Amino acid sequence: MKINVDRDRCVGAGQCVLAAPAVFDQNGEDGLVQLLQSEPGQDQHDAVTEAELICPSGAVEIHS
C-alpha cells in the first residue's frame, strides 16, 4: 500500500491524524497534512483506509 496526500486539497480538518496517527500528522505552521509514512505496513491498513474515507477534502489517496 502506498499513500499520497495532496496538500493543496487539504483543509486541515485533522481527521486523518485521528484515524491513523502513526501515518499522518498536521504541520505545526499551516495545519495541513504531513505524511509520516508513505508506505505503511499492513498493520496500518484499516486505519489508513478509514483516513481516506473520512477526509473531507479527498486529500488522502491509497494506491495498491
> What are 10-63's pLDDT values in tens digits?
999 999 999 999 999 999 999 999 999 999 999 999 999 999 999 999 999 999
Task: Specify the pLDDT at position 58.
Answer: 97
The full 3-state SS of the chain, as one line of letters, equals: CEEEECCCCCCCCCHHHHHCCCCEEECCCCCCEEECCCCCCHHHHHHHHHHHHHCCCCCEEEEC
Residue 3's pLDDT band (boundaries 50, 70, 90)?
very high
Q: What is the pTM of this model?
A: 0.94
Task: Specify the pLDDT at position 64.
Answer: 80
Domains and CATH numbers, the chain: 2-63 (3.30.70.20)
